[in-house]
Structure 1
């Protein structure tokens, strides 16, 4: 596959740049604070290249951010073709809206939660899982830039009450994220009954010029839309799910209550 060639190219360049500077894997590992076995695993492809590794490689090899840029491009290309327009819209958005009835949206997922979700596809090789995890975490950098977008998230309470071991960490992360002034979190309580959001997740991105892009996902793939009729429908459905959700203060109180129930007794 084409994006596999992208990662192979990065590995080749890492080996080449290291060799050009006369550094063995062990010496390079010492300088970057990685073991020689980790360096070998990255260069042979048995360990995925992540952003911290690429960043340290650029610093030690003095490559001017080359490997960070290459990795960002490769991660984007590893995403499904249908999803890439949404990634562009998400990256450029001034405002983002997410609703999901069963899962935490990717922008607020921890690494362990993201990995568990991406393993839902039992046919997906572990190496591909790790690349997609790295890509998902890379997307989250928009939340730490100088001018982050306003992010409004609506979740069903049931999405918080999964009993998996990773949920305590995920809920604690949600609480930390909700402390940021540009992130608003709202929860639809279990006693809200049936509502239109149960038809499926949706996401909306508003650009600086006021235009909207929508994203819908299903079991097989997804659909990115920007036509006027589709956007009008999604905005109306967003207002419906937002309308049945609790205000932010009550949502955070509920989240803290659920988080306390996941914590070790």
Structure 2
């Protein structure tokens, strides 16, 4: 049963025996490019989850919960709607980074079921989750800003840096724009498991159910643990501004 059915987002509960389990399906066209509306609808879905968790009976809340995001087709997300981002500037980037921060510190465990390509902003969105599962037969995960000639905002660079922590992989990702297939992303430590397409959602649900137990009571402990675990990244996402390299007083 659909819990939230917005033009670009569908939110369901994939297992009625676990009311705190949510599946968010991204549905912004074939490429799931991030627009202001898309970001707003993701935030609305997260608002709904927060409200639903606050109203789950105590007995059910003790089962915990988790959030899965996924899509269908060739793309998980092909990143930002670049023309809109360039046109709208801070009005675009600030809400996008606020959304990444919220997902990074969300009160439930989060699992990205990467059904296809995850490029640039789509890669950042996937990295904001606690766990990433990627299909084996199709899809790359990559940061291609170097090829687009676009620098990363401080918070956007931070979320990549905090999740891709092997220096050679980080270098190749950001400075070479390398496209990583699923097995290479697992070797680099920023994708957790590779499975076939027909196993993707079931595997994501299995991860979610295992992790859900750590969210017993559906309180704020996980949120606060993540907030401190990723403190530097969150501060840059929320307060780092939109001027790359400004801390060096450099003109880029």
TM-score (normalizing by structure 1): 0.30
Q: Compute the TM-score of the two structures, normalised by the length of structure 2.
A: 0.31
Task: Point out the structure with max Rg over C-alpha.
Answer: 1
Query: Which structure would you say has the larger RCO, counting Cα contacts within 8 Å and 6 or more residues apart?
Result: 2
